[in-house]
Amino acid sequence: MSETLPSVYGGEILHVHLGTGDSEIESIDPRDARRFLGGNGFVAKQVAEHVPADADPFDPENVLALAVGPMNATPFQSTSRGVVGFVSPMTNGFFDSTFGGTLPQALKTTGFEVVVLHGTAEEHSYVLIDEDGAEVKSADGLEGTETYETCQEIREREDVGYDTHVLANGPAGENQVRYACLVHESKMREGVAGRGGAGAVLGSKNVKAIAVQGGDFQPEPAGDLQGRAVQQMGRLMDETEMLQEYGTAGLVNPINEMGKLGHRNMQTEQADAEDAEAVSGETLREEYVTEDTTCSNCAVKCGKHVSVEAEGITEGKIPEFESLFGTATLQEVYDPERVIKANDLCDRLGMDTISWGVTVAFARECYEKGLLDDDDSPHLEFGDADGLVELARQTAEREDFGDDLAEGSFRLAESLDDEAERYLYGAKGLEFAAHSARGLKGMSIGYATATRGGSHHDTRPTLQYDGNHDETTEGTPEFAARTQHFTALGDSLTQCRFVSEAGWGARVNERYAEAISLATGWELSTEDVEAIGERIYNVERLINVARGVADRGTDTLPHRTMHEPIPDGPSEGMYCPPEELEGMLDEYYEFRGWNDNGHPTTDTVDRLDLADVAESVAD
């Protein structure tokens, strides 16, 4: 009996060929919906199908796939999130990056669950999507414009105000800064597809922005999803009180108190309490926050606007916790107004604050150690706040030393003395996020095995801070793998991670199984939905194995994480020596059903119903 697609899906994939401007529509195979669910799963399938294993991330053969999830535009909370999937210029592997706002919900109503951009546009363009399909339009006059300005200009050109929802590149993407991001400025808040270089890939396609105008499609859950969502609302609001008040910036002080917040390019992991306080959520709220902002269909309102008169910033986006790690504590820059300025510049120019910040901090340590000097740049002393702001501008323009920073820390290290590798902080070419690779054992194995390299949205840190798998390796490889299933599942639902962890639980559980069953009409157990996450993670791994970027040799950690214990503070002595990592890798591979080199075995591929994917990535 053939399956039918649940009515929660719009049902179509829109392929846009940028070179010709032609489009084609593909129906979603119900079997694929059941195997890959949406969002993350759908874009992974597209990359597996369409990007040759030997294609460079900047080749026209790379795709940029934008997808939403089955729950989007339903009562299931906080699902107005989109996912972009592509081969990353940072890692040369599969990458998916998510963002919130109003665009994802608008895309859902067009009936297109996935939009795939193929090839390269002949002229500088933007892509307009509505329920009738796509149009590749001239972006003449938008060369070099900042992200917010681009969103506004395209809204004006389309002349329906905020009913045109825009995801835009900045100058950094046009200049193919490898970690250029995409920024969505909506009526309600800003969203950033921050990591992995989605902006650089879009820039390589000669595309300035993706714009969406909504349609009439309304997903129809099979059961009482609204009732189930309402049941969860009390817990959700109770557990997200800190996010409601302070946004993620509220994490600076707590994590610094634990001695797990990188400082001075990870030389230590605790800033002086007064320094941390200066860039904390408490200070930002008291001194600079002007209003709360939110994505569609979300009551948490974790977004905030900040204004800094001295910097000419009015209603800028509040720096997230990760950004404060990258641009403040790692730099020893504790002037909040200059930090906000650097973050605002990164948002406007279109750069990932994590990769950029970690790369600058790496360069600053190289300068400190004599591997770089004033002839390279006059802005490389730790604590130089004005230099930090100037380096942001230079990086986006690839001007002077900014051209080196634009390549990311790993490529910069290759151009320096071998000693420079000792100061890197990342994996597989992607800089780590704020959650300590030394101070949290789950992050040690999680980062080492992450599809995306230094991503904190593969293995999650949240439960670790509450004493789970932070200090022990026992059971930790399985924990890391299963939270990778959790994140792949969540990014396929396209539910906001913060909301899901706090409101629905930070592991795959019966609540998710029940909600997905109510939405789709499928009768799924907890094991069934975790298997969807596992399947997606294996698709990503299969892509990366075929591309030669995923094996035991690349599942590793940087020198400092493996050889230099945290020198002081509450987490003093913690690190992940090579033999400890090797032991955890053995357990991790065994749990996953991968061979000793970290490749999924044929039995695992068959168990997860992925034989067709394994075949397509090998082509």
Where do contacts with another protein occur on this chain (CB under 8 A)?
A: 238-243, 245-248, 250-251, 253-255, 257-259, 270, 273, 277, 281-282, 302, 320-322, 434-435, 456, 461-462, 465-467, 470-471, 497-498, 501-502, 569-571
d(CA 189, CA 100): 8
CB of 570 to another protein, least distance (A): 2
DSSP at 7: T
CB of 120 to another protein, least distance (A): 36
Q: Longest Cα pair distance anywhere in the chain, in angstroms?
A: 71
CB of 499 to another protein, least distance (A): 9
d(CA 317, CA 186): 12
Q: Which is nearer to another protein, 162 or 465 (CB)?
A: 465
Closest CA to 204 of 16, 349, 60, 22: 60
d(CA 264, CA 290): 30
Q: Which is nearer to another protein, 110 or 323 (CB)?
A: 323
Q: Which is nearer to another protein, 116 or 255 (CB)?
A: 255
CB 196 within 8 Å of CB 225:
no
Q: Which is nearer to another protein, 163 or 245 (CB)?
A: 245
CB of 280 to another protein, least distance (A): 8
CB of 257 to another protein, least distance (A): 4
Q: Which is nearer to another protein, 347 or 470 (CB)?
A: 470
Using CA atoms, how far residue 451 sits from 285, 340, 612, in Å, is 35, 31, 20
CB of 178 to another protein, least distance (A): 24
CB of 242 to another protein, least distance (A): 4
CB of 262 to another protein, least distance (A): 13
CB of 271 to another protein, least distance (A): 13
Q: Which is nearer to another protein, 272 or 582 (CB)?
A: 272
- The two tokens of residue 362 are 């790496």
Helix orientation angle between 578-592 and 441-449, rounded to the nearest 10 degrees: 60
- The two tokens of residue 259 are 């001695």
Q: Which is nearer to another protein, 15 or 456 (CB)?
A: 456
d(CA 515, CA 612): 29
Amino acid at position 94, single letter: F
Q: Which is nearer to another protein, 346 or 496 (CB)?
A: 496
Closest CA to 181 of 430, 360, 352: 352
Residue 3's CB is within 10 A of a number of other CB atoms, namely 11
- The two tokens of residue 106 are 């608008």
Q: Which is nearer to another protein, 41 or 281 (CB)?
A: 281
CB of 501 to another protein, least distance (A): 6
Residue 581, class by beta-carbon neighbours within 10 Å (0-12 exposed, 13-18 middle, 19+ buried)? buried
Q: Which is nearer to another protein, 248 or 538 (CB)?
A: 248
End-to-end CA distance of the chain: 30
Q: Which is nearer to another protein, 257 or 528 (CB)?
A: 257
Name 307's bridge partners: none
Name 292's bridge partners: 304
CB 82 within 8 Å of CB 35:
no
CB of 237 to another protein, least distance (A): 12
CB 545 within 8 Å of CB 552:
no
CB of 259 to another protein, least distance (A): 5
Closest CA to 585 of 437, 443, 447, 449: 449
- Burial code (b: 16+ CB inside 10 Å, e: under 16) for 256-279 equals bebbbbbbbbbbbbbbeeebbbbb
Q: Which is nearer to another protein, 452 or 592 (CB)?
A: 452
d(CA 110, CA 17): 19
21: alpha, beta or left? (left if phi > 0; alpha if psi -120 to 50)? left
Angle at 595 between CA 593 and CA 598, to 5 degrees: 95
